[in-house]
Structure 1
Amino acid sequence: MRAFMSSHIGKKRSRNPTNMESLMQGMLAKQDSFLNNNLTGGGIYEQPFIDNENLQPLEDNDNDMSNAVEDDDDDVIFIKEQPVYLASPAVPASDNYTSTTSKKFKKQRTISLPQLPHAKLLYQGRREARGQNNDELLHLTGSSSRTLDGNRALSLRVVYSASPDDISERIYSSVSPPGSSTASASSDSVSSKEGMATATGASLNGSNPHKRSLRRLSAPRLAARLVGKKPRTKKRENFKTDKDGHYIYRQDDVFGGGRFLVKGLLGQGTFGKVLKCSDSGDFATSNPFKLNSNMVAVKVIRAIDRYREAAKTELRVLQAIRENDITGQYQCLMLQECFEYRHHVCIVTDLLGKSVYDFMCSNGVARFPGSHVQAMAKQLIRSVCFLHDLGIIHTDLKPENVVLCDESYVEKDLPPSVIRGLSTRRREASGGRRKLLKNPEIKVIDFGSAVFHKEYHPPVISTRHYRAPEIVLGLGWSFPCDVWSIACVLVELVTGESLYPTHENLEHMAMMQRVNGEPFPPKIVGKMFYKSSHNLGNLPSDLNSTVVKHFDKKTLSLQWPEKNKRGDYLTKDKSIRRVMDNCDRLDFLITSKVKADYGDWLSIDWNISPEKNWALIKSRILSERKTSGTTAGDLNKETFLFWYWFIDLCRKMFEFDPTKRITAREALDHKWFNLGILDEGITSFGEL
């Protein structure tokens, strides 16, 4: 296990199952004691984990940690000590994401995050917050000329089909293994402003890629030519394209100069297809950071000019990520190489596992435990923080684009009453069991819609359910739209359901107001009217017909449900029910789902302080005990605080006005990440 559950487990691990079971029981007993502030005798912290008077998480004290008595570590459970590599003091972290010169040990106190190495909880990028001001909100469209210039500077190398008639293997890779001379030539060939690499390489050693040369012959072909024998050739390639520019998928097709063998279809869309391929090239075995030895994912873009142009922007984004995070510590999809093959742009990346969305669909209970939600949230926000510091906006964050690094899980049988309530599809997919991940480590993928901050901004981006209000209203959008999408993802992980199950603008806006518990601010509605009337910026083509007409120009309020002049409802009953039944104010919505784990005593109202919330909960618990004689189950103060501050973070991420929305940098420092919770996600970590 990369994370030590306690220091004595890291020193010695028993192989006896009976001993391990008793040890685990002892650990959980101590953890429960620790959570309830009853740890006595030789604890490593002078202060309790939670300030019971103020109901606030205590701040970390590095001096207290440094003075901790090592002999007492065995008394604390899920407190881990791991090496942390910090950037060299001589090189600012904002200028170098990969320098790792000084080594330091630090204990992580947060109980909910022992599943992750401590290094994956840190972020040492640029310190400035990424937001957008009022001027950008009104006018931001980005520069299309910057995008075109950047794409023109990108030089794609061409890979030709392997053929018995061609004695030259004309295979060129755009990204070579780190440290190779090809990599140096590639990175130096073209550079862009602001330090973003925009090229994936020029012709090898400056030579003409179409010119045949003996020195470009492979060793077997050169030897065969010298002795006058016919060289052994690779399997003939059978790669076909339809009239719409799509690659026609067939199992066991060979392409890329005989290098890639198609093993399966991972996905497809208007952009093209993503293939699971076996890679026979040298890069597959020489790259130390590659997850699978010879299996890769190859994104084959449609052989249509506009899709090729979009693919070039994606390549520049991936190249910027790779150059600033060569080891992949910020958990973004890593580019291996790219090339052009028969007019298709082909992007080769690591082959990763199942998406979070697919895992939820195959689970008897789609909701994740709170500890897993917190671990995924920390990683997701950290990755987005890294992207924003590079000037990159992902624009399409959703559970489908977050993948699991480790798909292993433990299963628990669900009660018959729960199984009966499952849909037929979910019951068959899950087998009537709940799956709990052993390791909640994730990666962010799919940068096909990502843009650089100062480049062209399309009028509409993001998948509908995760689309920020400024996009729907036709305002300028920037980094804050990613923060809104993250909040939608986090709520979905907690509830197991999409927060905004709709496909049209009016319903979506009505749902947003219901979840936020307030109407759209007049400020941003007024800007929408101004932009629409003056035709400013890149406005969605349906803005007037599906958005503007639903707002009152005098009150600047959304008219929903719609009524005619006689007062009759124009909005269909089905639409009204969809909004009212699926959406509620966020604090009520979250607690209604979490009650399934902690009982009906848990309730949170974000309009009153945490102290008053907890006082009301305690009064209900006492009342229940007096009337029925039952206990309050697993609910305790720490559990309440965990969910209270989770809702607080989501509320700040769901701010309507993007200029006031919390930034990814600020979200990383939110007090929720200083709180912990003991649940099935913790107890299943590393379980065999």
Structure 2
Amino acid sequence: MEMERVTEFPIRQLDRRPRKRPRLGWDVLPEVPKAQLGLFCGQDVGSVTSYAPLRQPSNISSSLIVKEVAQNGSPPWREDDKDGHYMFELGENITSRYKIHSKMGEGTFGQVLECWDRERKEMVAIKIVRGLKKYREAAMIEVDVLQQLGKHDKDGNRCVQIRNWFDYRNHVCIVFEKLGPSLYDFLRKNNYRSFPIDLAREIGRQLLECVAFMHDLRLIHTDLKPENILLVSPDYVKVPDYKGGALFQTHENLEHLAMMEKVLGPIPAHMLKRADRSAEKYIRKGKLDWPEGAASRESIRAVLKLPRLQNLVMQHVDHSAGDLINLLQGLLRYDPSERLTAREALRHPFFSRDHLRRL
């Protein structure tokens, strides 16, 4: 895989004060498609891709454009903002190869721009990382992981593809293939209507194939969630963004553990006994210290309203519920030694029985 490095300016000291920045929305097609999955590496990149078809940009009319820039020329030098984000105007160039078409989104890591690749004659998504040391270092780790994945996924069937990367005005820029919206965006735009069981099965199969592929390379994806499942076409998806996500919406540790027990059942006693000192405050007499240790009544109510896993599944699945419940229980077992691996899960009856029916 060819990589490109372009360094135009030396590293500069920047104001390191953190600041929350609003994320942008995405244009999402009104209908829920079939799905095809794949994998994407990095921080928040998966949540900022859009589904516009590949096209060469026409003349852009925007209040962000102040003056014309020579077709392939570099834009004027600008200071980054106080958080180290790259400042740009629509229609400008990033090196002579890429022309900025639109802003697709942003996050803690930086921002993602939709750009026209003059060399390949296609739209790409360029992740422009903040010009701060810790983000630059994280970006280089991401590039290394992406290169590993690309080396072993030559056909690009499993992973989001890195086109190249370069260093531009103290910003690491990673160029990706441009993909569709996230599964979360489709759910949101369709009022969170459930997917048909056959579609859920196909998405699950592709997800597990992606995860198994990563595990074979001794890589772990720690942020599997709808925001990080990207639609490639009406019947194909890819998986991005390799960091940490949560099944339960809480940042309070004891409440989180109580939610897990409510949905998945009690935490095994042998695991509680092995808890280190930092976790001892959550345990009393060999059990989770709940609800006695709850922070508030609201916290107790939030836990009590959660359904058991099997009840949650049966609310939405009218057939294949038994196989699906059994599969999820295997994937969510507390003890890693008892938990299904991705490859074991692919052989589960939830998938194999469907295969036999089609034969």
Interval containing the TM-score (normalised by the shorter chain): 0.7 to 0.9
Note if contact 1:239-1:247 (Cα within 8 Å) is conserved in structure 2: no
Tell me the equivalent position of 2:186.
Answer: 359
3-state SS of paired residue (2:238):
strand
Pick the aligned partner of 1:339 from 166, 180, 200: 166
Pick the aligned partner of 1:593 from 316, 323, 333: 316
3-state SS of paired residue (1:333):
coil
Note if contact 1:238-1:254 (Cα within 8 Å) is conserved in structure 2: no
Tell me the equivalent position of 2:281.
Answer: 549
Note if contact 1:353-1:404 (Cα within 8 Å) is conserved in structure 2: yes
Mapped partners of 2:351, 2:268: distance in 1: 29
Pick the aligned partner of 1:403 from 230, 238, 242: 230
* Aligned residue type for 1:574: E
Q: Percent identical across equivalent pairs? A: 38
Note if contact 1:297-1:350 (Cα within 8 Å) is conserved in structure 2: yes
Shift of 1:676: 3.5
Note if contact 1:375-1:440 (Cα within 8 Å) is conserved in structure 2: no
Note if contact 1:239-1:254 (Cα within 8 Å) is conserved in structure 2: no
Mapped partners of 1:557, 1:305: distance in 2: 43
3-state SS of paired residue (2:191):
coil
Which is helix-richer, 1 or 2?
1
Shift of 1:159: 4.4
Mapped partners of 1:249, 1:393: distance in 2: 34
Matched residues, number: 293
Shift of 1:378: 0.3
* Aligned residue type for 2:345: A
* Aligned residue type for 1:671: P
Pick the aligned partner of 1:319 from 147, 157, 178: 147
* Aligned residue type for 1:245: G
* Structure-2 change in CA distance of 1:587 and 1:279 (3 Å): same
Mapped partners of 1:313, 1:343: distance in 2: 16
Shift of 1:245: 1.6
Note if contact 2:72-2:93 (Cα within 8 Å) is conserved in structure 1: no
Note if contact 1:238-1:255 (Cα within 8 Å) is conserved in structure 2: no
Note if contact 1:239-1:255 (Cα within 8 Å) is conserved in structure 2: no
Higher relative contact order (CA 8 A, sep 6+): 2
3-state SS of paired residue (1:578):
helix
Pick the aligned partner of 2:6 from 144, 147, 158: 158
Shift of 1:571: 4.1
Mapped partners of 1:372, 1:313: distance in 2: 34
* Aligned residue type for 1:576: I
3-state SS of paired residue (1:513):
helix
* Aligned residue type for 1:306: K
TM (normalized to structure 2)?
0.76
The answer to whether 1:672 aligns with 2:355 is no
Q: Deviation string for 1:232-288 (max 9, x for gaps)? A: 8723424632233211243223212x221222222212211111111112xx14xxx
3-state SS of paired residue (1:354):
coil
Shift of 1:662: 0.7
* Aligned residue type for 1:561: P
Mapped partners of 1:236, 1:676: distance in 2: 55
Tell me the equivalent position of 2:325.
Answer: 647
The answer to whether 1:254 aligns with 2:93 is yes
Pick the aligned partner of 2:135 from 293, 303, 307: 307
Shift of 1:298: 0.4
Shift of 1:319: 0.4
Pick the aligned partner of 2:299 from 560, 575, 585: 575
Mapped partners of 2:280, 2:235: distance in 1: 42
* Structure-2 change in CA distance of 1:265 and 1:246 (3 Å): same
CA RMSD of aligned residues (A): 2.2
Give 4+ residue runs of structure 1 displaced > 3 Å after superposition: none
3-state SS of paired residue (2:137):
helix
Q: Deviation string for 1:4-24 (max 9, x for gaps)? A: xxxxxxxxxxxxxxxxxxxxx
Mapped partners of 1:280, 1:328: distance in 2: 22
Structure whose alpha-carbon radius of gyration is higher: 1
3-state SS of paired residue (1:392):
coil
3-state SS of paired residue (1:646):
helix
Pick the aligned partner of 1:280 from 89, 93, 118: 118
3-state SS of paired residue (1:405):
strand
Shift of 1:666: 0.6
Mapped partners of 2:216, 2:325: distance in 1: 26
* Structure-2 change in CA distance of 1:670 and 1:238 (3 Å): farther
The answer to whether 1:264 aligns with 2:113 is no
3-state SS of paired residue (1:273):
strand
Tell me the equivalent position of 1:242.
Answer: 81
3-state SS of paired residue (1:644):
helix
Pick the aligned partner of 2:250 from 502, 506, 512: 502
The answer to whether 1:584 aligns with 2:307 is yes
Tell me the equivalent position of 1:528.
Answer: 275
Note if contact 2:4-2:164 (Cα within 8 Å) is conserved in structure 1: no
TM (normalized to structure 1)?
0.41
* Structure-2 change in CA distance of 1:300 and 1:656 (3 Å): same
Note if contact 2:161-2:177 (Cα within 8 Å) is conserved in structure 1: yes
Note if contact 2:7-2:170 (Cα within 8 Å) is conserved in structure 1: no
Q: Deviation string for 1:508-538 (max 9, x for gaps)? A: 1111001112x21222223222xx3xxxxxx
* Aligned residue type for 1:579: V
Mapped partners of 1:593, 1:378: distance in 2: 19
Is there any run of 5+ residues in structure 2 with no aligned partner, and where? 10-69
Q: Deviation string for 1:619-663 (max 9, x for gaps)? A: xxxxxxxxxxxxxxxxxxxx3xx2101110000011011222111
The answer to whether 1:560 aligns with 2:290 is yes
Shift of 1:366: 2.5
Note if contact 2:106-2:112 (Cα within 8 Å) is conserved in structure 1: yes
Mapped partners of 1:242, 1:336: distance in 2: 27
Q: Deviation string for 1:552-598 (max 9, x for gaps)? A: 2xx321111125xxxxxx542211111111x221111211233xxx4
* Aligned residue type for 2:271: I
* Aligned residue type for 1:403: L
* Aligned residue type for 2:86: Y
* Structure-2 change in CA distance of 1:504 and 1:250 (3 Å): farther
3-state SS of paired residue (2:354):
coil
3-state SS of paired residue (2:315):
helix
Q: Deviation string for 1:391-423 (max 9, x for gaps)? A: 1111111111101112xxxxxxxxxxxxxxxxx
Mapped partners of 1:404, 1:370: distance in 2: 18
The answer to whether 1:391 aligns with 2:121 is no
Shift of 1:160: 3.7
Q: Deviation string for 1:51-79 (max 9, x for gaps)? A: xxxxxxxxxxxxxxxxxxxxxxxxxxxxx
Tell me the equivalent position of 2:236.
Answer: 441
Q: Deviation string for 1:6-46 (max 9, x for gaps)? A: xxxxxxxxxxxxxxxxxxxxxxxxxxxxxxxxxxxxxxxxx
Mapped partners of 1:381, 1:520: distance in 2: 25
3-state SS of paired residue (1:528):
coil
Note if contact 2:229-2:239 (Cα within 8 Å) is conserved in structure 1: yes
* Structure-2 change in CA distance of 1:586 and 1:510 (3 Å): same
Mapped partners of 1:265, 1:391: distance in 2: 34
